[in-house]
């Protein structure tokens, strides 16, 4: 089969690799029907995730059809259509028993496209298949479902829930890429008074408006003044960092009110300064996190019920064998207008 193989920082190829096989009784193999590219994949290619070794098949977001199952898989059968979660869960370690699947001690956590081969391929092995896949109803398209593999639960759990968004809050989202847009969608479930979005690209701010932002501000404008105008100089109740750079993190800490919350989602490859000399006296809470995907079933229910509209997030569509072109488009959003790209079997 063919797969997208990481060759080291800045290097990737769509090339022949061995077909995946069942290597543990709890494994399943899926035929990949739809897959997408994550900002984390770009961080890997930028050298920000050194645990990823050359030769690794990338990708951790897919919808597929089960083609093989191990003897220890109880809830799947060949032919089932499933969402493959970005997080794998052994289900029995301390963290899994607490629902903190991202920190799994039993061989799970974020492993797909990270420490084991991922899903940007024609076929993929899914470890701990019973707990790491979700069977999909016929009413949910592959394209809609694949957005539940990572970006929606990540934004919801690490941004909205960690940030404790409440009715009436002023919420600022710094970064209007796919993760930031998903944060807008899921923050709206809690009826904030204002959602303010900051980004350096006007095209992404325009998209943020379509997703429900009330106010948009260019990063090189004056985000602090805009937030203060809305809050009588107080600052935002919740600020969600959805980029992963020192500058955007430090901006978030200037926009939050005393007693407010900064929820960091972005993947950071470089140190950021935490200005405790300013924050300690303001009762500010800063949270970080890797998604656990414990909310995926709830988000799937919301999708089925029409309470989450993900259709506008997908801006570009490709076949799997066009994945190098898809990466180029996704990596240049200012020029291409790309939000999320989805690849399907040709």
Mean pLDDT of 1-24: 98
- Mean pLDDT to the nearest integer, 20-38: 98
Q: Of the ranges 86-100, 122-136, 269-283, 314-328, which one carries the lowest mean pLDDT score? A: 269-283
Within 13 Å and on the Cβ side, how many CA atoms surround 31? 10
Q: Cα–Cα distance between 282 and 296 in angstroms, integer?
A: 34
Given this model, what pLDDT does residue 334 score? 84
Q: How far is CA 268 from CA 176, 213, 234, in A?
A: 16, 25, 28
When pLDDT is averaged across residues 273-299 and rounded to a whole number, the result is 95
Helix (H) or strand (E) holding 236: strand 236-241
Say which residues have a Cβ less than 8 Å from residue 5's Cβ, sequence separation at least 6.
12, 13, 14, 15, 17, 55, 56, 57, 58
Residue 38: its H or E element:
none
Strands 215-218 and 194-199: parallel
For residue range 147-177, what is the model confidence (pLDDT) as tens digits? 999 999 999 999 999 999 999 999 999 999 9
Q: Can you tell me which residue has the tokens 């029995």?
A: 92
- CA distance linking residue 243 with residue 254, whole number of Å: 16
User: Cβ neighbours of residue 69 under 8 Å, at least 6 residues apart?
Assistant: 22, 27, 28, 29, 76, 77, 78, 129
Give me the long-range contacts of 295-299 (CB less than 8 A, separation at least 24): 295/153, 295/156, 295/157, 295/161, 296/83, 296/85, 296/134, 296/148, 296/153, 297/134, 299/148, 299/152, 299/153, 299/156, 299/186
Check: CB of residue 72 under 8 Å from CB of residue 18: no
Please give the Cα distance from 157 to 152 (Å, whole number): 8
Confidence (pTM) = 0.95
Nearest to residue 27, comparing CAs of 128, 108, 97? Answer: 128
- Tell me, what's the pLDDT at 320? 97
Q: What is the pLDDT of residue 346?
A: 78
Residue 182: predicted pLDDT: 97
CA 144 from chain centre, in angstroms, equals 14
What pLDDT does residue 240 have?
A: 98
Angle, CA of 290, 291 and 296, to the nearest 5°: 175
Which has the closest alpha carbon to 267: 50, 99, 83, 120? Answer: 50
With bands split at pLDDT 50, 70 and 90, how would you rate the model's confidence at 277?
Answer: very high
Confidence (pLDDT) at 312: 87
User: What is the rounded CA–CA span in Å between residue 139 and residue 189?
Assistant: 22
Instruction: List pLDDT tens digits, range 239-275.
Output: 999 999 999 999 999 999 999 999 999 999 899 999 9
Q: What is the pLDDT of residues 45-95, one digit of tens each?
A: 999 899 999 999 999 999 999 999 999 999 999 999 999 999 999 999 999
> Do 196 and 226 meet the contact criterion of CB atoms below 8 Å apart?
yes
Nearest to 299 by CA among 184, 191, 147: 147
Contact (Cβ atoms closer than 8 angstroms) between residue 190 and residue 162: no
Helix (H) or strand (E) holding 237: strand 236-241
Instruction: Encode pLDDT of 297-320 as tens digits.
Output: 999 999 999 999 888 899 999 999
For residue 28, what pLDDT is reported? 98
Measured over the CA atoms of residue 170, residue 172, residue 177 and residue 183, the dihedral's sign is negative
Checking if the pLDDT of 185 tops 90, the result is yes
Secondary structure (3-state) at 323? helix
Specify the pairing of strand 340-344 against strand 28-36.
Answer: antiparallel
């Amino acid at each position: 089969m063919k797969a997208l193989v990481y060759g080291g920082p800045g290097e990737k190829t769509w090339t022949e690799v061995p077909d995946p096989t069942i290597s543990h009784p709890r494994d399943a193999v899926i035929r990949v029907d739809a897959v997408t590219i994550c900002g984390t994949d770009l961080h890997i290619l930028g050298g920000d995730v050194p645990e990823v070794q050359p030769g690794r098949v990338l990708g951790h977001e897919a919808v597929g059809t089960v083609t093989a199952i191990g003897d220890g898989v109880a809830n799947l059968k060949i032919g089932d259509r499933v969402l493959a979660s970005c997080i794998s869960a052994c289900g029995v370690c301390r963290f899994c028993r607490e629902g903190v699947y991202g920190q799994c001690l039993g061989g799970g956590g974020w492993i797909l496209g990270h420490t084991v081969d991922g899903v940007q391929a024609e076929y993929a092995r899914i470890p701990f298949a019973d707990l790491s896949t979700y069977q999909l109803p016929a009413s949910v398209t592959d394209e809609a479902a694949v957005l539940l593999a990572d970006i929606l639960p990540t934004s919801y759990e690490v941004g909205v829930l960690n940030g404790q968004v409440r009715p009436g809050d002023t919420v600022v989202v710094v970064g209007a890429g796919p993760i930031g847009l998903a944060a807008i969608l899921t923050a709206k479930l809690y009826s904030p008074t204002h959602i303010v979005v900051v980004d350096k690209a006007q095209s992404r701010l325009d998209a943020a408006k379509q997703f429900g932002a009330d106010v948009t501000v260019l990063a090189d404008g004056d985000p602090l003044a805009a937030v203060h105008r809305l809050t009588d100089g107080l600052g935002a109740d919740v600020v969600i960092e959805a980029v992963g750079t020192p500058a955007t993190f430090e901006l978030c800490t200037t926009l939050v009110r005393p007693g407010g919350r900064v929820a960091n989602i972005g993947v950071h490859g470089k140190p950021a300064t935490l200005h405790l000399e300013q924050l300690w006296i303001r009762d500010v809470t800063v949270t970080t996190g890797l998604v656990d995907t414990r909310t995926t079933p709830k988000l799937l229910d919301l999708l089925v019920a029409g309470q989450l509209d993900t259709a506008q997030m997908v801006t570009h569509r490709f076949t799997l064998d066009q994945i190098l072109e898809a990466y180029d488009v996704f990596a240049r959003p200012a020029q291409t207008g790309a939000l999320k790209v989805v690849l399907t079997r040709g």
